[in-house]
Amino acid sequence: MPILRLDRFISNNTEYSRSQIKDLIKHNRVLVDNVVVKKSDIKVDTERSNILVDGKTISEFGLRYYMMYKPSGVVCSTDDSKSTTVIDLLPENLKDKNLFPAGRLDKDSEGFVLLTNDGDFSHKILSAKNHVAKYYIVRLARPFQADYIEKFSKGIELSNGEVCLPSRVIQWEGSQYYAVIELYEGKYHQIKRMFASVGNHVEYLFRFQIGNLALNQNLTKGSVLEVLHKELPEILKNTDTKFFEKDFQTKISSFITNIEL
C-alpha cells in the first residue's frame, strides 16, 4: 500500500476538501495512531496507520452508498466505450471514489440503481439466498391477465428453458396495462423475458424500490442522493408482508403519476 500525504488520503476517502482538512487539523480533530496531528502534509502508511477524523476511522468514511435515478439510454457499468454509463453521470467529486453499480438495470429501463464501493454489501443485495426484493413497475403492450399471478408464483420458464424463481406480480388498480413485479434475482432482461413467456411485451420498465428503501421522488433523472448508513438495513429488510398493503399501492400510484402514463 502506498505512503500518501495525510490530507490527500483523507480527501480521497471522505467528503472533506483539502481546506476543510486543514481546519480539522488546526482544531486537533485528526489523530494518527492516537497522536494529534499538527500538519496536513505528513506522510502516512495508509495500510498500517490508524487514522481518526472527528473520532471516526477512515473505513467508516470510506464506504459509500448512493441511490441514482438512472435514465433510459444509460448502462449499468463502470466503463463502456459506446454508451454513457452510470459512472459518467456522477458529479466530478464522486468519480474518483471507486463506485460501481450494485446490480444492473437494462439500458432502456429507468429507476433506482444503488452505487457503492462496498463489495460485501453489494453481494448481500444480489444474492438470491438473502431474499432482498427488487420492485418494478412495467407498462405492458397488452392488458394484464389474471392468470399471470399464478404463473409467476410458480416460476416462469423462459424461452431458453431456464426457470425463474417464484415471484409476485399484481395489476396496478389504475390501469389494465400497468403491473408491479417483485423479484429476488436478476437474470439478463428477466422481466421482459418473463412477460414474453406469457404472451405479452414490456414497453416500459421502472425500478422504484430495493428491499424497503424506495427511490427518493425528489430525484431527477441522472441525479444521485447519498444513502445514509442508518438507511442500509432498510435495503436488506424483508418486505414479504407489504406487497399487497394499501400504503404500498399508494406508493405505486405516486410513482406511476410521476413517470409517464
Residues in the chain: 261
Neighbours of 33 (CB within 10 A): 12
C-alpha cell at 134: 427488487
Q: Where are the beta strands (DSSP E) in 18-87?
A: 30-32, 35-36, 43-45, 51-53, 56-57, 65-70, 74-75, 84-85
Pick the catalytic residue from 79, 106, 118, 247.
106
3-class state of residue 166 by DSSP: coil
C-alpha cell at 198: 406469457
Which contiguous run of DSSP H or E holds residue 256?
Answer: helix 246-258
Please confirm, yes or no, whether 106 is among the known catalytic residues: yes
CA dihedral 217, 222, 223, 228 (to 10 degrees): 80
C-alpha cell at 209: 424500490
In the block, cell 431527477 appears at: 220
C-alpha cell at 254: 405516486
User: CA 57: distance to chain centroid?
Assistant: 24
Residues linked to residue 52 through DSSP beta bridges, in sequence order: 31, 57
Contact status, residue 31 vs residue 42, Cβ threshold 8 Å: no
Catalytic residue ranges: 106
